[in-house]
Structure 1
Amino acid sequence: MKLTHLGHACFLVEGGARLLIDPGTMSDFDGVRDLDAVLVTHQHPDHLDVARVAALLAANRNASLVVDADTASTVEGLPAHVVVEPGDRLRFGGENDNATVDVLGGLHAAVYGDVPGCTNAAYLIDEGAFFHPGDSFLVPPSEVDVLAVAVDGPWLKLAEAIDYVRAVDPRVAVPMHEGETTDPAKYFGMLAAFLPDGVVRSPLRTSTDEPR
């Protein structure tokens, strides 16, 4: 299996099939071709850029779009898609050379306060060769060789990411979900999203000694 991180939560998985997981707004996936499937863990834009995925599917006409239950309404205008639930098993690729995808999970990790939750499909590729949990701390029921682990977001702290890797106990852990950290403006915006308007002032633009 070959694994390529395309930014934030997006991975290209190549083995018995070519699978693209979580093509979102912070990821660079537009030029990927010859896909068998595009797998989406949940509806948040950093995991699903609907406009760019529409163009991606137009350039990969043999690719299946796989989404969780709450994302189905978001992709109604896109080509035929498969809505999955925990317990489903999918197979992609040729008759003699293919990849299995087991759907696990259920719900997105609690974000903050009363922010509404959503469904989250975690994907176990080739019986544990690679596991993408989406935005969750789901521990799969079988061994994992390579684990994608989120390292940033309003729904986690780094200590929880460390505990999660320890709980899954993979051979390799690949950090992901780092998009906001690469751009201070986005990171400050994430903080501002959970506070009253005007409270957060970017240190890149304003002085901290403004009169109160």
Structure 2
Amino acid sequence: MRLTKFEHAALLLEQSGRKLFVDPGSFTTPITDAANTVAVVITHEHPDHWTPDQLRRILEASPDAMLYGPEGVVRAASDFAVTRVDPGDTVEVAPFSLRFFGGRHAVIHSSIPVIDNVGVLVNDTLYYPGDSWAVPEGVEVDTLAVPAGAPWMKIAEAMDYVLEVKPKRAFGTHEMVLSVAGKSMAADRLAWATAEGGGEYVNLQPGDSLDL
């Protein structure tokens, strides 16, 4: 399976000529190469993780692609046929196996309602928590996509999360809210945390790919 990182939270997984997109949102350049997409996973309803325009572009290229998200996404994206997924669900959409964890977005502030959020484990290999620190219980994570910057987090939380999950490999995501200097500092801290657990940190940039 091959992973390509896009800007911010968007990821592309490819296997056997098929594609899976995760969180194609407003901070990601327009997705135009979407032929042979079998599924799109949207972890939660915030626009930096999905937009109608991104979904339309994907579906124009692959009209039979399945869309998956929690109840909040089903409501927010009511113009699209989103299949609801909840923590504990497993979905098979060949050649991808999707397992869902978590359930709730991290707290941004006491004045802002907490929304639905699911983390997704793809082919028992890549885990992405969305906007949460949900640990996939009972899973030895091979590769972790870890948030590097957001209004709902501080770097100490990301470091502690990596220390708890102990992935064999990790890379930063959700970083478009950071300056160049901030991205570098976050990468250094996350690299330290990954190494503490015996893993390797890969400083992927938008457009970079990685074989999983």
TM-score range (shorter-chain normalised) is: 0.7 to 0.9
Superposition deviation, residue 32 in structure 1: 2.7
C-alpha RMSD of matched pairs (Å): 1.6
Q: Supply the distance in 1 between the matched residues of 2:6 and 2:112 (Cα, whole angstroms).
A: 28
Deviations 1:159-187 (A, max 9, x none): 11111111100011110011122599xxx
Where has structure 1 moved over 2 Å in runs of 4 or more?
none
- 1:161 equivalent to 2:161? Answer no
**Residue correspondences, number:** 178
SS at structure 2 position matched to 1:140: coil
Q: Supply the distance in 2 between the matched residues of 1:183 and 1:67 (Cα, whole angstroms).
A: 31
Identity across the alignment (%) = 34
> Which residue in the other structure is 2:187 paired with?
none
- 1:85 equivalent to 2:86? Answer yes
- Amino acid across the alignment from 1:68: P
> Which residue in the other structure is 1:199 paired with?
none
2:136 to 121, 140, 143: 140
> Which residue in the other structure is 1:197 paired with?
none
> Which residue in the other structure is 1:192 paired with?
none
1:178 to 163, 175, 180: 175
2:108 to 108, 111, 116: 111
Q: Supply the distance in 1 between the matched residues of 2:163 and 2:40 (Cα, whole angstroms).
A: 29
Return the index of the structure with the highest Cα Rg. Answer: 1
CA contact (8 A) 2:126 2:141 kept: yes
> Which residue in the other structure is 1:28 paired with?
29
- Written as runs of structure 1 = structure 2, the 5 A alignment for 1:26-105 is 26-33=27-34, 34-78=36-80, 80-93=81-94, 98-105=95-102
**Gaps spanning 5+ residues in structure 2: where?**
182-212
- Amino acid across the alignment from 1:13: L
Q: Supply the distance in 2 between the matched residues of 1:101 and 1:32 (Cα, whole angstroms).
A: 22
**Gaps spanning 5+ residues in structure 1: where?**
185-212
- 1:151 equivalent to 2:151? Answer no
- Amino acid across the alignment from 1:46: D
SS at structure 2 position matched to 1:106: strand
CA contact (8 A) 1:6 1:29 kept: no
TM-score (norm 2): 0.80
Q: Supply the distance in 2 between the matched residues of 1:182 and 1:50 (Cα, whole angstroms).
A: 27
Q: Which has the higher contact order (CA 8 A, sep 6+)?
A: 2
Superposition deviation, residue 29 in structure 1: 4.8
Q: Supply the distance in 2 between the matched residues of 1:28 and 1:163 (Cα, whole angstroms).
A: 31
